[in-house]
Chains A and B, each alone.
Chain A
Amino acid sequence: MINIGILNLGINNIKSITKACEEMGKTYILNDASDFLVKTEILILPGNGNFETGIKLIKDLKFDKLIYDFYNSKKKIITICLGLHLLMNDSEEAKGTKGLSLIKGSVKKIDNKNFKTPLLGWYDVNFKNKNFKTKSFFFNNSFKVVPEDLSIIEGEIVNDIPAFIKYKNLYGFQFHPEKSSFQGLSLLKKIIEE
C-alpha cells in the first residue's frame, strides 16, 4: 500500500479526496506539519478558495517547509485547483502575495469569451500523454496557471486554459479528479501508481 498524506488547510472540503485516496493507498490527514509521517510516499495538496488565504494557512501550519523538503526528496506531490496555484510565483487574485514559487509563472484570471466564468462544470481535457484518453472532468475555478515553461502543460481544455501540469515530481490538476466520477478516480489512480 502506498502511504499518502493529505494536507488539510482547514478551509476546504477534503473529505472527497480523502475517500478517493483510501481506495488507492494508506491515507492520513495532516492538520499541521507536526503530523507528518516519515514513511509518506505521496503528498496531496488539495484546495479551493482564495490564493492569499491559502498561502497564509500554508505558512501558519508550517506546511511550506514540509512541501519544500518533500519536493527536494523527489517524492510525488499532487496538487489540486488552488493547491496547484499555490506552487506558482504569484497570482492576479492576490497582488503582492508570494506563492511557493516551485514552478515559475503566475496565476491569472480566465479571460476567454467562449467560456463562462467561473468555469463550473465538466470540460473535455486533451492530454499530451497518449495513454490518457480525452475525457471530461469537473472544474470549479475562475483562475488558471500560466507557467513560463509551457512545455510542462500536459493537459488542456483549449490552448489558453491548462488543465494538467507535470513538472519534475510535481503534479497539478486544475480540475477536481475526486469530483469527476469514475474517470476522475481512474486518472488519480494512474498518477498515484505511475
Chain B
Amino acid sequence: MSAEKIRIIPKLEIKNQYLIKGVRFEGLRKVGDPIEFAQKYYKEGADQINIIDIVASLYGRDNLYEIVNKITDKVFVPICVGGGIKNLDHIKKLLKSGADRIIINSEALRNKDFLNQVIKTFGSQFITVSIEAKKIGNEYYCMMDHGRENSNKRIKDWLSELSKYELGEIIVSSIDQDGMQNGFDNDLALILDKEKKITCPKVISGGAGKNEDFCNILKNKDLQGLSASTCLHFNKVKIPDLKNSLKLNKININNL
C-alpha cells in the first residue's frame, strides 16, 4: 500500500451564484447552492473540495469570493479555488476569503512567468496546476478558458515542462468524459502516470459514474487523488459508500 492516501475530491463548478454542471463542458444546468453542496460533501468525508468559477473572466469575481467565504465558515478540509486566475491580486483576495490553494490552468499555459511569480510569492505547495484535456485525432491537447480555446500544446509535452517546476499538485481532467459517467479516461490517466519526473501528487478527473470507476482507474497507476462532480451532485455515488468500496479493494484512504 502506498504511503499516500487516495483523496476523494468533489469538484464544484460555479456560474454566478449557482452550482452548475454540463456534459463535456456544455449544456450547463443549475444544480443548486454551492454552499449547501460543499457542506454536505464535507460532512460525508470529502478529503478536499475544488471550486472552479467557469465564467469568472466574463463576469467578474465578487460572487466567487463571497461563495468561498461562506463555504470556509463551516467546512474544515482544504478548499482549492480556480477559474480565470490571472494576477496576484485575485490570489490575495481568494486567500482572504479562506481558500487554501489556488488552481491555475489557462494563465499558466499563456504566461509561465506568472507561474514562477506565484511560486515565488506564495510557495510551491500553494499551487495546483489544472490541465483540461481534449482528444483530437490520436493526441490529447491542453484546452484553455473552460474548453473554449485550444492551446495547441500536447498534454505529454506540457507535463514534461511542468516536471521542471516545484508544484503542489497536478490535476488532469478529461473534457471528453466530463459528465458522461461511464468511467475515467484510462489513456489520459496513463499519460499522467507515465511522466515520472513529476514528484508532486497527481489527480485525475472526469467521467466517474459509479464506485467501480474509482477503483478501476487506480489499477497499476501512481495517482493520489480522484475528482468527480456529476455522479456526486446527482447522488449516483455517495462518498461514504465510495470510501467503503475503496477500502474493500485495499486502497489506502482517509477514514473519518
Contact = CB atoms under 8 A, between A and B. Distances in A.
B182 interface: no
B122 A121 contact: no
B253 to A, nearest CB: 8
A48 interface: yes
Contact of A180 (B76, B101, B225): B76
B78 A182 contact: no
A17 B73 CA distance: 10
B98 A120 contact: no
A117 B3 CA distance: 12
B76 A16 contact: yes
B201 interface: yes
Contact of B47 (A12, A121, A142, A178): A121
B125 A140 contact: yes
Interface residues of B, number: 36
Interface majority SS (helix, strand, loop, mixed), chain B: loop
Interface in A1-59: 11-13, 15-16, 19-20, 48-50
Nearest to A19: B73
B5 A136 contact: yes
Contacts of A115: 3-4
A120 to B, nearest CB: 5
A138 B124 contact: no
B76 A141 contact: no
Interface in A170-194: 176, 178-185
B223 to A, nearest CB: 11
A118 B124 contact: yes
B131 to A, nearest CB: 17
B224 interface: yes
Given A116-B4, A123-B3, A179-B77, A13 B98 contact: yes
A183 B42 CA distance: 12
A16 to B, nearest CB: 6
Contact of A121 (B4, B100, B124): B4
B76 A181 contact: yes
Interface of A: 11-13, 15-16, 19-20, 48-50, 114-118, 120-123, 136, 138, 140-142, 157-158, 176, 178-185
Interface of B: 3-5, 7, 42, 45, 47, 72-74, 76-78, 95-101, 122-126, 166, 168-169, 199-201, 224-225, 254-256
Complex A-B, nearest 5 residue pairs according to Cβ-Cβ distance, in ascending order: A15-B98, A122-B254, A118-B125, A122-B5, A136-B254
